[in-house]
């Protein structure tokens, strides 16, 4: 049970980092003009916060697999799986672009 809780906690931290990154990109995109706005998608690839959040997400997924093999409760494993998928979606898709 401890492993699945740790996995859930790391996933939540990754989600919060991803949302912070998306919000920061959105605010900076709104303030940008001209060429900066046209090439702003490249900044999403070079943003420094993606790597730590991705690493935390991968560690959380590995812990999720470990809790599966240790036969922890299925309900918590399924919830953690959906949260891990949500981490990937938040980190990889450009929500900041869709908001503008």
Tell me the per-residue pLDDT of 61-73, one tens digit each, with 9 for 90 and over: 888 888 888 888 8
Q: What is d(CA 5, CA 66) in angstroms, rounded to the nearest whole number?
A: 12
pLDDT, mean over the chain: 83
Which one is predicted more confidently, 38 or 20?
20
pLDDT computed for residue 53 by the predictor? 81
pLDDT computed for residue 100 by the predictor? 67
Confidence of residue 25 (pLDDT cuts 50, 70, 90): confident
pLDDT at position 47 over 70: no
What are the structural domain ranges in the chain? 2-99
- Tokens standing for 89? 């979606």
> SS3 for 69?
helix
Neighbours of 20 (CB within 10 A): 12
Q: What is d(CA 6, CA 85) in angstroms, rounded to the nearest whole number?
A: 16
């Amino acid at each position: 049970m401890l492993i699945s809780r740790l996995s859930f906690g790391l996933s939540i931290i990754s989600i919060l980092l991803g949302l912070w990154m998306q919000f920061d990109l959105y605010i900076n995109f709104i303030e940008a003009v001209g060429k900066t706005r046209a090439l702003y998608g490249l900044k999403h690839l070079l943003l420094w916060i993606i790597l730590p959040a991705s690493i935390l997400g991968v560690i959380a997924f590995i812990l999720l697999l470990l809790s599966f093999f240790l036969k922890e409760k299925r309900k918590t494993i399924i919830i953690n799986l959906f949260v891990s998928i949500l981490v990937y979606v938040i980190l990889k898709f450009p929500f900041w672009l869709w908001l503008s």
